Amino acid sequence: MDETDRAMLDRVNEARSEPRKCGNQDFDAAEPLSWDCTLEDAALAHSRDMVELEFFSHTSPDGVQTGKRVSDRGYRWSAVGENIASGQNSVDRVVDGWLSSPGHCANIMSTEYTEIGAARVEAPGSQYSPFWTQVFARPR
């Protein structure tokens, strides 16, 4: 876990530590998430794919979605979710953006998830760089 990973985990757990409204949905404070390297690997691969294949979606051009990406890395999950973003230059900025978006905020606050992995990938020459992916899950 590097400095960016630690900052991401800390910022997400700080957000989860108090009740929050995500759009029209109210969330109680939630237990902190723990970092999982397999989820980080899935996040990194997705961010790299978005850069290399020039797309921005939870579904890859060949139709692969979050659950399959996570399962393909050997993680057995009972719940899985994902946030993506691009263009924010810091952990604080990207997490603030996610928290201001109802669906992304709901992923951050969901008690369905107990673990997180995330990654940031630079895209030299792209106005949308960097690309961020957060993967949330609960193991089986």
Q: Distance between CA atoms of 129 and 87, rounded to whole angstroms?
A: 5
Q: Would you say residue 127 has pLDDT above 90?
A: no
pTM for the full model?
0.96
Weakest-pLDDT range from 36-45, 71-80, 98-107, 124-133: 124-133
CB 131 within 8 A of CB 86: yes
Mean pLDDT, rounded, for 51-68: 95
**Tokens 């957000």 — which residue?**
15
Q: How far is CA 111 from CA 4, 51, 139, in A?
A: 23, 31, 13
